[in-house]
Amino acid sequence: MTTIISAKDVHLSYGNYEALHGVNLNFQEKELTALIGPSGCGKSTFLRCLNRMNDDIENIKITGEIKFEGQNIYSSKMDLVKLRKEVGMVFQQPTPFPFSVYDNVAYGLKIAGVKDKDLIDQRVEESLKQAAIWKETKDNLKRNAQAFSGGQQQRICIARALAVRPKVVLLDEPTSALDPISSSEIEETLMELKHQYTFIMVTHNLQQAGRISDQTAFLMNGDLIEAGPTEEMFIAPEKQITSDYLNGRFG
């Protein structure tokens, strides 16, 4: 197992309010890590630090070190565009552009300057297959992506993120806006893909974290309480508060 992203003493504050008080966490390659914790604990904020999606927020201050493949992503030399091609992201709400399915999935390649039509065609097909949405879309690639159901849209978004062949995909509660059937379809998709990609997923759904993640990290009030292999954590958490949360005593 090699570490692909390592966060060291990450502090983040909006103005005077500190949302993260020094998070240390390593992410292993080709594993699915679940970030869990009560609402407002900073798990989504932390996730967005990993591809610098927090940069645009006003008055934000981030200190500490986040290394992606050994390089500090917050160094001034880091090329944001390149980083985000390596570390993709899928959001809570399905966010397909109001274009055709094909244009959606090809978007990342197009902006990366890929002109080769055959390559794009091939990537679009591959990515849609990987995201388990090829069957539903292969006959209407020209159809507007927003005409599909929520679960299908989310899988189109996953395909869109995968099309640029990122090393890491960040998922910010990818199933919380979906119905149970669509959710389980997304989960199956992730289970199949986690041997090829590194996933880091924020989820409110503890059972989901238990089902599909390899590593789990529990955050609360801006602190990382505990992190470790999912099975160990769910069966025998080291700390009482983790156990309380996992057993539904609060949160």
Q: Which of 13, 72, 95, 149 binds another protein (CB under 8 A)?
A: 95
Strand 215-220: give its sheet, edge to edge.
87-90, 168-172, 198-202, 32-36, 215-220, 223-229
25 to 64, contacts with another protein by CB under 8 A?
A: 51, 53
CA dist 69 and 87 (Å) reads 11
Give the H/E segment covering residue 124. Answer: helix 117-130
Pairing between β-strand 87-90 and β-strand 60-68 as defined by DSSP bridges = unpaired
Q: Which of 24, 63, 71, 111 binds another protein (CB under 8 A)?
A: 111
Q: Which of 5, 12, 128, 161 binds another protein (CB under 8 A)?
A: 161
Q: In the bound complex, what is the minimum distance in angstroms from residue 225's beta carbon to another protein?
A: 11
Strand 71-72: give its sheet, edge to edge.
17-28, 3-14, 60-68, 71-72
Contact 209, 36 (CB under 8 A): yes
Q: Which of 6, 26, 144, 149 binds another protein (CB under 8 A)?
A: 144
97 sits near another protein (criterion: CB under 8 A): yes
> Which single residue is written with the structure tokens 């159809």?
143
Q: In the bound complex, what is the minimum distance in angstroms from residue 241's beta carbon to another protein?
A: 6
Q: Which of 19, 35, 131, 157 binds another protein (CB under 8 A)?
A: 157
What are the distances in angstroms from CA 171 to CA 104, 110, 120, 187, 202?
A: 18, 22, 24, 12, 6
Q: Which of 112, 181, 235, 236 binds another protein (CB under 8 A)?
A: 112
16 sits near another protein (criterion: CB under 8 A): no
Which residues form the interface with another protein (CB under 8 A)? 51, 53, 81-85, 88-89, 91, 93, 95, 97-99, 107-108, 110-112, 144, 157, 160-161, 164, 240-241, 244, 249-250
